[in-house]
Amino acid sequence: MTNLMGLSSHTTDALREVGLDSRYVEALIRATVAEDLDGGVDVTSVATVPAEQRSTLDLVSRAHGVVAGIPVAAAVFDVVSEGNVDIELRAADGDRVGPGDVLLSITGSTRDLLLAERTSLNLISHLSGVATSTALWADALEGSRTRVRDTRKTTPGLRVLEKYAVRAGGGVNHRMSLSDAALVKDNHVVAAGGVAQAFDAVRAMWPGLPIEVEVDSMDQLAEVLDAGADLVLLDNFTPDQMTNAVEFTQGRALLEASGGLTLKDAKAVGQTGVDFVAVGALTHSSPVLDIGADLRTI
């Protein structure tokens, strides 16, 4: 394996333009490539590919979907080749693509291209799958006020990228971590002795922090509205119950629907007037978008 080095300024700029930290992306790439090599070399490529050979590798969509992670995939080749690579971005994150669409083309050492291939495909295929699933929800909710957003049910180590993919697909993000917003759930309510008590405890300790409170009944909704909640999570409410909650709340707080909702529920949820629908499946269960790599020797 070649010695990994920092990203080129071009790749760093491409990542910054989409709101991604290049240091995080590079560290992730280093870890995944090191995992692939396991302290050795790519034995197949070293045996079959002349060291001096150069090629162009095209990453090509094999299916219809929404692409995300193009700059991330490019960064894999940049790092592995020590910057000795030419990268042409031929699509942008958020684009709707179809079979045969070339997403990016990379020219460099054939061995480096083949070493980087799987890591780049793993990342871009997964992120594009998240973006594609998100876009299906966004399309289904079009015309309503309801926006689809993610949860913290993310792959360990990939949260930043998966939540980025949600944005690329037309969704919005919930909190990124346990510290940037409070979410009072059923177990917090049990521990605190009641939903209003839990809300008051968080507000007292963190007066400027956004607080969302999970409720499972109209009585609890009334309690947290009186307490001053910013956002209320309606847990396992039916569409009719969501509509009642919207009418009862009268804009005093934002409302988010949650609890096993699937794409077939999207239209009904959008018609209720809730502000958000939380879909954990966007990040924990989206199928990958089929993306392949085609090599052209020079």
pLDDT, averaged per 10 consecutive residues of the chain (298 residues), comes to: 65 94 96 96 97 97 98 97 94 98 98 98 98 98 98 97 98 96 94 93 94 95 93 97 98 96 96 98 97 95
Residue 58 a catalytic site member = no
Whether 185 is a known active-site residue: answer yes
* pLDDT for position 4: 44
Q: Are strands 147-149 and 96-97 parallel, antiparallel or unpaired?
A: unpaired
Instruction: Please give the CATH number for the structural domain made up of 139-284.
Output: 3.20.20.70
- Residue 298 has what pLDDT? 86
**Residue 118 is a catalytic residue:** yes
Instruction: Give the Cα-Cα-Cα angle 55, 61, 67 (nearest 5 degrees).
Output: 115
Q: 153 catalytic, yes or no?
A: yes
- In the set 212, 235, 256, 275, the catalytic residue is 235
Q: Which residue in this structure is represented by tokens 């209720």?
A: 272
Active site (annotated) includes residue 235: yes
**pTM for the structure as a whole:** 0.95
Output phi, psi for 278, to 5 deg: -90, 125
The CA distance from 222 to 248, in Å, is 8
Q: Which residues of 270-287 are buried (b: 16+ CB within 10 A; e: fewer)?
A: bebbbbbbbbbbbbeebe
**Residues 118, 159, 175, 252: which is the catalytic one?**
118
The strand ranges marked E within 137-250 are: 147-149, 182-184, 211-215, 231-235
* CATH architecture of the domain with residue range 9-130+287-297: Alpha-Beta Complex (3.90)
Residue whose entry in the numeric block shows the structure tokens 């049910």: 153
Cα distance between residue 4 and residue 87, in whole Å: 17
> Where do you find CATH 3.90.1170.20 in the chain?
9-130+287-297
Please pick, among 16, 30, 185, 296, the residue that the annotation labels catalytic.
185
Contact assessment for residue 155 and residue 149, using Cβ atoms and an 8 Å cutoff: no
Out of 96, 153, 203, 267, pick the active-site residue.
Answer: 153
CATH 3.20.20.70 domain range(s) in the chain: 139-284
